[in-house]
Amino acid sequence: MTRALLDSVRAYRRGHAAKVLADFAELLALDNVTGDVPALHRNAAALAEAFTARGARMQVVALDGVAPVVVGRLGTDPARPTLGVYVHYDGQPVGTGDWRTPPFEPTLCTPDGRAIPFPANGDPIDDDWRIYARAAADDKAPFAALLTALDALHDAEARLAVNLVLCFEGEEESGSAHLRGYLQALRDQLRADAWLVCDGPVHHSGAPQIVLGVRGFTGFDLTVYGPLTEIHSGHYGNWAPNPALDLVRLLATCKDDAGTVTVDGFYDTTRPVTPADVAALQALPEVEPALLQRLGLAEAEIAGGRLTDQMMRPSFNLRGLSAGDVGAHARNAVPAHATASVDIRLAAGDEPDRMLRLVREHVARQGFHVLDREPTDQERRSHRRLARFTPTAGYPAVRVPADLPIVARLARAATEAAGREAVVMPTLGGSLPLHDLVDVLAAPTVILPIANADNNQHAANENLRVGQLWYGVDLWALLLTQPW
């Protein structure tokens, strides 16, 4: 790609910025909570329509009662390499609290959090403005970037140097239970020389980032049972067992004061960190002091701990606790049950089923009779400590070699698009269903994030920094036109 072409792409996106943001906001206004199949169908249809309008041949493929996968192709020149592009279009649940603006009413804000109207054509636009909405960063941003890049290249009458194969998933945020089946069924349509997984944030330092792997994922809910119904805490409290107290005493046995998970065997299968990994990790800029500042924390869980070191190990995160009520709604009663929800991030080498088995065995060793359903009355009467263990679907981690030629090419394009040296990250902290992609599609697979690191992904007030969208447009313009 000539420098002139990149300049004309930039001129195009500056000239059409209002329209680009408006189109992006329209996509974000489509609610896309994972598991809401009718809503996800609406998102799939909108995406198919948008890429069809850019000349792609699109298809919405749906298993009954499951979010569809959207597949497509743009270009069929056998002389060009074919790049696979994976994006997911479902979002995390939005919860009940703490959103300053409704999650599906995309809102533009200044860096100090003031909501402002979306710009009109020709208005100046600040790269540090942010668009707030569920999925603004995770993971609808790549759609807006790729669509805009295609428009800009079309406007410049540029010739594409690659064919694209598209695969947009709608079930990533709930564990990708059907992705493997979809990929197997569509394998012939999805042949590509390499796959780019467009998801995740750039480096905390703001540097562009190429990511060679992801952690796997699993998790579980654990419900501990007390009396059949809530009972008065004066008449029965401290005589009847309290399931909330039993639960906290159980959870306290899962991790020690030093931040180490104390479930037997938890770290045994984790693939050891190699010298190459260590070199890549050590090359990464230090982010911890700035992160502590931004998150309002005095210290990491392990005092002085490096963020990237933690990503090479499996994690145990207590994502939720629920029993009775707190605050104004607290009732003076012994709760009938108490539930904890835990997510486990897996490092390369860990298997989801084995990790869940280890936790379940740990619960049993603490004196609990463990079930995978509600207890019967007979079971309640037979076991002083009774727990229900409900696993979350999961998948293993993957990590690709750092010396693949595509890694260097991507790093060069990212460096040029951002005007700043790209970093190469051995693994992302988050999880993606790369395992199924790598396994079924059998092509080199690398992750290419564009979102800002402080995007509040998975939480309230998710947002995308506008400048990240422009980075994505420029990066895609380079990837679509550079020689491979």
Residues 344-363 that bind a second copy (CB under 8 A): 345
Where in 393-452 is the site for a second copy (CB under 8 A)?
A: 428-431
The C-alpha atoms of residue 269 and residue 354 are separated, in whole angstroms, by 9
Give the orientation angle of helix 141-155 with respect to helix 466-481, to 10 degrees: 50
Write down the least CB distance from residue 180 to a second copy, Å.
Answer: 20
The C-alpha atoms of residue 284 and residue 424 are separated, in whole angstroms, by 8
Where in 81-100 is the site for a second copy (CB under 8 A)?
A: 92-93, 95-96, 98
**Pair of tokens at residue 211:** 């990511």
Q: Tell me which amino acid residue 424 is.
A: V
Q: Which of 19, 54, 80, 236 binds a second copy (CB under 8 A)?
A: 236
Where in 261-320 is the site for a second copy (CB under 8 A)?
A: 291-303, 305, 307, 310, 313, 315-320
Neighbours of 208 (CB within 10 A): 25
Q: Which of 327, 373, 403, 483 binds a second copy (CB under 8 A)?
A: 327
For a second copy, the closer of residues 119 and 449 by Cβ is: 449
Q: Which of 73, 215, 388, 465 binds a second copy (CB under 8 A)?
A: 215
Number of residues near a second copy (by CB under 8 A): 101
CA 480-438-421 angle, to 5 degrees, is: 45
For a second copy, the closer of residues 11 and 252 by Cβ is: 252
Write down the least CB distance from residue 161 to a second copy, Å.
Answer: 33
The C-alpha atoms of residue 21 and residue 145 are separated, in whole angstroms, by 10
Contact window for a second copy (CB under 8 A) among 139-147, 272-280, 378-386, 467-475: 378-386
- Answer for the pair 284, 423: CB distance below 8 angstroms, yes or no: yes
The C-alpha atoms of residue 55 and residue 49 are separated, in whole angstroms, by 10
The C-alpha atoms of residue 19 and residue 14 are separated, in whole angstroms, by 10
Write down the least CB distance from residue 184 to a second copy, Å.
Answer: 26
Instruction: State the residue for tokens 């039993």.
Output: 246
Q: Which of 5, 60, 231, 404 binds a second copy (CB under 8 A)?
A: 231
For a second copy, the closer of residues 160 and 358 by Cβ is: 358
Q: Terminus-to-terminus CA distance in the chain, angstroms?
A: 11
Does position 482 bind a second copy by CB under 8 A? no
For a second copy, the closer of residues 151 and 246 by Cβ is: 246
Does position 334 bind a second copy by CB under 8 A? yes
Tell me which residue of 138, 429, 454, 451 sits closest to 291, measured CA to CA: 454
Write down the least CB distance from residue 307 to a second copy, Å.
Answer: 5
Does position 331 bind a second copy by CB under 8 A? yes
Write down the least CB distance from residue 204 to a second copy, Å.
Answer: 9
Where in 22-41 is the site for a second copy (CB under 8 A)?
A: 35
The C-alpha atoms of residue 324 and residue 333 are separated, in whole angstroms, by 8
- Answer for the pair 224, 368: CB distance below 8 angstroms, yes or no: yes
